[in-house]
Protein backbone atom coordinates (compact mmCIF):
# COMPACT_ATOMS: atom_id res chain seq x y z
CA UNK A 1 0.00 0.00 0.00
CA UNK A 2 1.43 3.37 -0.96
CA UNK A 3 0.71 6.26 1.35
CA UNK A 4 1.33 9.82 0.34
CA UNK A 5 3.36 11.84 2.78
CA UNK A 6 0.90 14.44 3.95
CA UNK A 7 1.59 18.09 3.49
CA UNK A 8 2.28 19.76 6.85
CA UNK A 9 -0.97 21.69 6.78
CA UNK A 10 -2.87 18.39 6.83
CA UNK A 11 -1.13 17.15 9.95
CA UNK A 12 -2.73 17.26 13.35
CA UNK A 13 -0.03 17.37 16.03
CA UNK A 14 -2.02 14.86 18.03
CA UNK A 15 -1.46 12.36 15.21
CA UNK A 16 2.27 12.24 15.52
CA UNK A 17 3.62 13.13 18.91
CA UNK A 18 3.49 9.57 20.16
CA UNK A 19 6.59 7.49 19.46
CA UNK A 20 4.84 4.12 19.59
CA UNK A 21 2.18 5.34 17.22
CA UNK A 22 4.85 6.71 14.91
CA UNK A 23 6.79 3.48 14.75
CA UNK A 24 3.63 1.52 14.18
CA UNK A 25 2.60 3.77 11.35
CA UNK A 26 5.91 3.75 9.60
CA UNK A 27 5.68 0.03 8.98
CA UNK A 28 3.19 0.96 6.31
CA UNK A 29 5.10 3.74 4.66
CA UNK A 30 6.38 3.25 1.15
CA UNK A 31 8.69 5.59 -0.71
CA UNK A 32 8.45 6.67 -4.27
CA UNK A 33 9.14 9.77 -6.18
CA UNK A 34 6.60 10.50 -8.83
CA UNK A 35 6.91 12.05 -12.23
CA UNK A 36 8.31 15.46 -12.85
CA UNK A 37 7.74 18.42 -15.04
CA UNK A 38 10.50 19.66 -17.38
CA UNK A 39 13.62 21.38 -16.18
CA UNK A 40 12.85 24.94 -15.16
CA UNK A 41 15.65 27.43 -15.21
CA UNK A 42 17.51 27.67 -11.97
CA UNK A 43 15.82 29.99 -9.48
CA UNK A 44 13.14 30.95 -12.00
CA UNK A 45 10.51 29.44 -9.66
CA UNK A 46 7.72 28.89 -12.18
CA UNK A 47 4.25 28.58 -10.61
CA UNK A 48 3.24 25.30 -12.17
CA UNK A 49 2.22 22.26 -10.25
CA UNK A 50 4.41 19.19 -10.30
CA UNK A 51 4.44 15.83 -8.57
CA UNK A 52 4.80 15.70 -4.82
CA UNK A 53 7.30 13.63 -2.93
CA UNK A 54 5.91 10.39 -1.55
CA UNK A 55 7.44 7.79 0.73
CA UNK A 56 7.71 4.00 0.52
CA UNK A 57 8.68 1.68 3.30
CA UNK A 58 11.84 2.97 4.89
CA UNK A 59 14.82 0.82 5.73
CA UNK A 60 15.88 1.28 9.35
CA UNK A 61 18.68 3.78 9.06
CA UNK A 62 22.16 3.25 10.41
CA UNK A 63 23.43 5.56 13.19
CA UNK A 64 19.91 6.16 14.53
CA UNK A 65 19.63 6.90 18.24
CA UNK A 66 17.09 5.15 20.47
CA UNK A 67 16.60 8.26 22.59
CA UNK A 68 13.08 9.63 22.96
CA UNK A 69 12.11 11.67 19.95
CA UNK A 70 11.10 15.29 20.40
CA UNK A 71 7.39 15.74 19.67
CA UNK A 72 6.61 16.97 16.18
CA UNK A 73 4.71 19.86 17.68
CA UNK A 74 7.95 21.16 19.22
CA UNK A 75 10.29 20.56 16.28
CA UNK A 76 7.93 22.41 13.96
CA UNK A 77 7.13 25.44 16.12
CA UNK A 78 10.49 26.18 17.75
CA UNK A 79 12.72 26.97 14.78
CA UNK A 80 15.57 29.09 13.52
CA UNK A 81 15.00 30.21 9.95
CA UNK A 82 15.97 33.86 9.76
CA UNK A 83 14.52 34.24 6.29
CA UNK A 84 11.17 34.30 8.11
CA UNK A 85 12.13 36.28 11.21
CA UNK A 86 14.31 35.94 14.26
CA UNK A 87 11.76 34.67 16.81
CA UNK A 88 11.41 30.94 17.30
CA UNK A 89 7.74 31.10 16.34
CA UNK A 90 8.23 33.18 13.17
CA UNK A 91 9.12 30.32 10.79
CA UNK A 92 6.01 28.27 11.62
CA UNK A 93 3.93 31.41 11.36
CA UNK A 94 5.28 32.75 8.07
CA UNK A 95 7.13 30.02 6.13
CA UNK A 96 3.88 28.62 4.76
CA UNK A 97 4.02 31.39 2.15
CA UNK A 98 7.13 29.89 0.51
CA UNK A 99 6.32 27.81 -2.56
CA UNK A 100 8.46 24.69 -2.74
CA UNK A 101 6.94 22.93 -5.70
CA UNK A 102 8.41 22.94 -8.27
CA UNK A 103 11.98 23.31 -6.98
CA UNK A 104 15.35 23.09 -8.69
CA UNK A 105 18.75 22.22 -7.29
CA UNK A 106 21.97 23.11 -9.11
CA UNK A 107 25.10 21.02 -8.61
CA UNK A 108 28.02 23.03 -9.93
CA UNK A 109 31.74 23.68 -9.60
CA UNK A 110 34.60 21.21 -9.56
CA UNK A 111 32.92 18.08 -10.88
CA UNK A 112 32.59 16.15 -14.11
CA UNK A 113 28.78 16.25 -14.31
CA UNK A 114 27.39 19.61 -13.19
CA UNK A 115 23.63 19.76 -13.65
CA UNK A 116 20.43 21.49 -12.69
CA UNK A 117 17.89 19.04 -11.37
CA UNK A 118 14.24 19.17 -10.69
CA UNK A 119 13.90 18.13 -7.04
CA UNK A 120 12.18 14.85 -7.88
CA UNK A 121 14.88 13.93 -10.41
CA UNK A 122 17.51 14.89 -7.88
CA UNK A 123 16.19 12.51 -5.23
CA UNK A 124 14.49 9.74 -7.22
CA UNK A 125 17.58 7.57 -7.94
CA UNK A 126 18.10 6.92 -4.24
CA UNK A 127 16.35 4.88 -1.59
CA UNK A 128 15.19 7.21 1.14
CA UNK A 129 16.42 6.37 4.62
CA UNK A 130 15.29 7.32 8.07
CA UNK A 131 17.89 8.62 10.51
CA UNK A 132 16.94 9.50 14.07
CA UNK A 133 19.57 12.05 15.03
CA UNK A 134 20.34 14.31 17.94
CA UNK A 135 20.09 17.97 16.88
CA UNK A 136 22.13 20.44 18.99
CA UNK A 137 21.80 24.18 18.56
CA UNK A 138 24.58 26.56 19.57
CA UNK A 139 21.97 28.31 21.74
CA UNK A 140 22.28 25.29 24.08
CA UNK A 141 19.00 23.52 23.35
CA UNK A 142 18.70 20.15 21.67
CA UNK A 143 16.14 17.82 20.12
CA UNK A 144 15.92 14.29 18.69
CA UNK A 145 14.46 14.23 15.18
CA UNK A 146 13.64 11.36 12.80
CA UNK A 147 14.82 12.72 9.44
CA UNK A 148 14.12 11.14 6.08
CA UNK A 149 16.65 11.67 3.35
CA UNK A 150 19.60 10.52 1.31
CA UNK A 151 23.27 10.45 2.34
CA UNK A 152 24.88 13.47 0.70
CA UNK A 153 27.79 11.34 -0.47
CA UNK A 154 25.55 9.32 -2.77
CA UNK A 155 24.50 12.52 -4.50
CA UNK A 156 28.04 13.91 -4.69
CA UNK A 157 29.36 10.71 -6.22
CA UNK A 158 26.88 11.06 -9.07
CA UNK A 159 28.45 14.35 -10.14
CA UNK A 160 32.01 12.89 -9.93
CA UNK A 161 33.99 15.53 -7.99
CA UNK A 162 37.36 16.51 -9.46
CA UNK A 163 40.66 16.84 -7.59
CA UNK A 164 39.90 20.53 -6.97
CA UNK A 165 36.77 19.71 -4.98
CA UNK A 166 38.04 20.25 -1.43
CA UNK A 167 34.93 21.82 0.05
CA UNK A 168 31.20 21.84 -0.61
CA UNK A 169 29.27 25.10 -0.49
CA UNK A 170 25.48 25.15 -0.02
CA UNK A 171 23.16 28.05 -0.79
CA UNK A 172 19.57 28.70 0.32
CA UNK A 173 16.91 30.12 -1.96
CA UNK A 174 16.99 33.89 -2.32
CA UNK A 175 13.47 35.24 -2.79
CA UNK A 176 12.62 38.28 -0.66
CA UNK A 177 9.06 38.23 -1.97
CA UNK A 178 8.43 34.96 -0.17
CA UNK A 179 11.11 35.22 2.50
CA UNK A 180 10.37 38.50 4.27
CA UNK A 181 13.47 38.26 6.49
CA UNK A 182 15.59 38.72 3.37
CA UNK A 183 14.23 42.25 3.04
CA UNK A 184 16.27 43.19 6.11
CA UNK A 185 20.05 43.07 6.38
CA UNK A 186 20.13 41.09 9.61
CA UNK A 187 22.28 38.55 7.73
CA UNK A 188 23.94 38.62 4.35
CA UNK A 189 21.65 36.77 1.94
CA UNK A 190 21.37 34.19 0.61
CA UNK A 191 22.27 31.98 3.60
CA UNK A 192 25.43 30.06 2.80
CA UNK A 193 27.09 27.10 4.51
CA UNK A 194 29.98 24.76 3.82
CA UNK A 195 31.60 21.47 4.67
CA UNK A 196 35.02 20.03 4.05
CA UNK A 197 34.85 17.30 1.41
CA UNK A 198 35.48 14.46 3.87
CA UNK A 199 32.72 15.81 6.15
CA UNK A 200 30.35 15.99 3.20
CA UNK A 201 31.24 12.43 2.21
CA UNK A 202 30.78 11.07 5.73
CA UNK A 203 27.90 8.56 5.86
CA UNK A 204 26.22 10.47 8.73
CA UNK A 205 25.74 13.57 6.56
CA UNK A 206 22.24 13.64 5.16
CA UNK A 207 20.22 15.65 2.69
CA UNK A 208 16.76 15.54 4.23
CA UNK A 209 13.44 15.79 2.40
CA UNK A 210 11.24 14.66 5.27
CA UNK A 211 10.84 14.15 8.98
CA UNK A 212 8.52 11.95 11.06
CA UNK A 213 7.54 10.04 7.92
CA UNK A 214 6.30 13.12 6.10
CA UNK A 215 7.61 15.80 3.78
CA UNK A 216 9.60 18.51 5.50
CA UNK A 217 7.43 21.35 6.75
CA UNK A 218 8.52 24.68 5.27
CA UNK A 219 9.73 25.97 8.62
CA UNK A 220 12.16 23.04 8.87
CA UNK A 221 13.75 23.76 5.51
CA UNK A 222 11.50 22.32 2.83
CA UNK A 223 11.95 20.88 0.39
CA UNK A 224 15.62 20.01 0.93
CA UNK A 225 17.97 20.67 3.82
CA UNK A 226 21.28 19.50 5.12
CA UNK A 227 21.60 17.54 8.39
CA UNK A 228 25.07 17.22 9.98
CA UNK A 229 24.39 15.81 13.45
CA UNK A 230 27.85 16.25 15.02
CA UNK A 231 27.85 19.98 14.24
CA UNK A 232 25.80 22.83 15.65
CA UNK A 233 22.40 23.26 14.05
CA UNK A 234 23.31 26.33 12.00
CA UNK A 235 25.44 24.15 9.69
CA UNK A 236 22.21 22.39 8.68
CA UNK A 237 21.24 24.84 5.97
CA UNK A 238 17.61 24.89 4.86
CA UNK A 239 15.78 25.19 1.54
CA UNK A 240 18.87 24.47 -0.57
CA UNK A 241 18.98 25.51 -4.25
CA UNK A 242 22.69 25.19 -4.98
CA UNK A 243 25.48 22.77 -4.09
CA UNK A 244 28.87 23.90 -5.37
CA UNK A 245 32.15 21.99 -5.20
CA UNK A 246 34.98 24.41 -4.54
CA UNK A 247 38.71 24.53 -3.93
CA UNK A 248 38.75 27.15 -1.16
CA UNK A 249 37.02 27.07 2.19
CA UNK A 250 33.70 28.93 1.86
CA UNK A 251 33.03 31.97 4.04
CA UNK A 252 29.72 31.03 5.60
CA UNK A 253 26.90 33.38 6.54
CA UNK A 254 27.51 33.10 10.28
CA UNK A 255 31.31 33.39 9.98
CA UNK A 256 30.77 36.63 8.13
CA UNK A 257 28.19 37.91 10.62
CA UNK A 258 29.91 37.06 13.94
CA UNK A 259 33.37 35.58 13.24
CA UNK A 260 34.44 35.43 16.89
CA UNK A 261 31.50 33.13 17.66
CA UNK A 262 31.09 31.10 14.48
CA UNK A 263 33.99 29.31 12.85
CA UNK A 264 33.93 27.10 9.80
CA UNK A 265 33.97 23.75 11.58
CA UNK A 266 31.37 24.33 14.29
CA UNK A 267 31.67 20.86 15.71
CA UNK A 268 29.68 20.43 18.91
CA UNK A 269 32.37 20.89 21.56
CA UNK A 270 31.55 21.35 25.25
CA UNK A 271 35.06 22.70 25.88
CA UNK A 272 34.71 25.73 23.59
CA UNK A 273 32.14 28.30 24.67
CA UNK A 274 30.35 30.50 22.15
CA UNK A 275 29.71 33.75 24.01
CA UNK A 276 26.99 34.39 25.22
CA UNK A 277 26.36 30.63 25.47
CA UNK A 278 28.34 28.09 27.44
CA UNK A 279 28.46 24.83 25.51
CA UNK A 280 28.94 22.53 28.51
CA UNK A 281 25.26 21.82 29.05
CA UNK A 282 22.15 21.76 26.95
CA UNK A 283 18.43 21.60 27.57
CA UNK A 284 16.68 18.92 25.59
CA UNK A 285 13.42 20.55 24.51
CA UNK A 286 10.70 19.24 26.82
CA UNK A 287 13.11 18.38 29.67
CA UNK A 288 13.29 20.29 32.91
CA UNK A 289 16.88 19.49 33.83
CA UNK A 290 19.89 20.28 31.67
CA UNK A 291 22.19 17.51 30.50
CA UNK A 292 25.88 17.48 29.71
CA UNK A 293 26.78 18.17 26.11
CA UNK A 294 28.85 15.44 24.51
CA UNK A 295 31.86 16.02 22.27
CA UNK A 296 30.76 15.86 18.62
CA UNK A 297 27.19 15.66 19.99
CA UNK A 298 27.88 12.02 20.91
CA UNK A 299 29.01 11.05 17.38
CA UNK A 300 32.72 10.98 18.30
CA UNK A 301 33.20 7.28 17.51
CA UNK A 302 32.05 7.98 13.96
CA UNK A 303 33.69 11.33 13.25
CA UNK A 304 36.58 12.09 15.63
CA UNK A 305 39.11 10.67 13.14
CA UNK A 306 38.23 13.45 10.69
CA UNK A 307 39.87 15.95 13.04
CA UNK A 308 42.86 13.94 14.29
CA UNK A 309 45.74 16.27 15.12
CA UNK A 310 43.67 19.46 14.74
CA UNK A 311 43.45 22.03 17.51
CA UNK A 312 39.67 22.22 17.87
CA UNK A 313 39.83 25.29 20.08
CA UNK A 314 41.52 27.14 17.23
CA UNK A 315 39.56 25.54 14.42
CA UNK A 316 36.15 25.98 16.00
Written in H, E and C, the secondary structure of the chain is: CCECCCCHHHCCHHHHCCHHHHHHHHCCCEEEECCCCCCCCCCCCCCCCCCCEEEECCCECCCCCCCCCCCHHHHCCCCCCHHHCCCCCHHHHHHHHCCCCCCEEEEEECECCCEEEEHHHHHCCCCCEEEEEEEECCCCEEEEEEEEEEEHHHHHHHHCECCCCCEEEEEECCCCCCCHHHHCCCCCCCCEEEEEHHHHCCCCCEEEEEECCEECCHHHCCCCEEECCCECHHHCCCCEEEEEEECCCCCCHHHHHCCCCCCCCCECCCCCCECCECCCEEEECCCCCCEECCHHHHCHHHHHHHHCCCCCCCCC
| Residue with Cβ nearer ligand MTE (70 or 129) | 70
| Residue with Cβ nearer ligand MTE (85 or 161) | 85
| Residue with Cβ nearer ligand MTE (61 or 217) | 217
| Residue with Cβ nearer ligand MTE (79 or 293) | 79
- Phi, psi at residue 84, to the nearest 5°? -120, 10
| Residue with Cβ nearer ligand MTE (140 or 246) | 140
Q: Give which of 165, 228, 153 is closest to 193, Cα–Cα.
A: 228
In angstroms, what is the minimal distance from the CB of 112 to ligand MTE?
28
| Residue with Cβ nearer ligand MTE (156 or 227) | 227
In angstroms, what is the minimal distance from the CB of 27 to ligand MTE?
26
In angstroms, what is the minimal distance from the CB of 233 to ligand MTE?
3
In angstroms, what is the minimal distance from the CB of 172 to ligand MTE?
4
In angstroms, what is the minimal distance from the CB of 211 to ligand MTE?
8
Cβ-proximal residue to ligand MTE, closest one: 233
| Residue with Cβ nearer ligand MTE (238 or 242) | 238
In angstroms, what is the minimal distance from the CB of 273 to ligand MTE?
17
Q: What does the binding site for ligand MTE look like in residue numbers (CB under 6 A)? A: 79-83, 135, 137, 172, 191, 220, 233-234, 236-239
In angstroms, what is the minimal distance from the CB of 216 to ligand MTE?
9
In angstroms, what is the minimal distance from the CB of 244 to ligand MTE?
15
| Residue with Cβ nearer ligand MTE (81 or 122) | 81
Amino acid sequence: MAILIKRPAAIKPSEITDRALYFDRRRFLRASLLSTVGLPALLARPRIASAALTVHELPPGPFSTHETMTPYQDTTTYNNFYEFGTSKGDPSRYAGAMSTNPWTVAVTGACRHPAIYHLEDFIRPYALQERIYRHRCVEAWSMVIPWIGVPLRDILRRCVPSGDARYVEFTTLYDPREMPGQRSDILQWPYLEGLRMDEAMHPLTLLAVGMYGRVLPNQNGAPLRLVVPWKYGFKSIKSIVKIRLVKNQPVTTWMRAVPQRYGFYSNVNPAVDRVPWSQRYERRIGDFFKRKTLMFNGYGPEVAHLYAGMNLAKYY
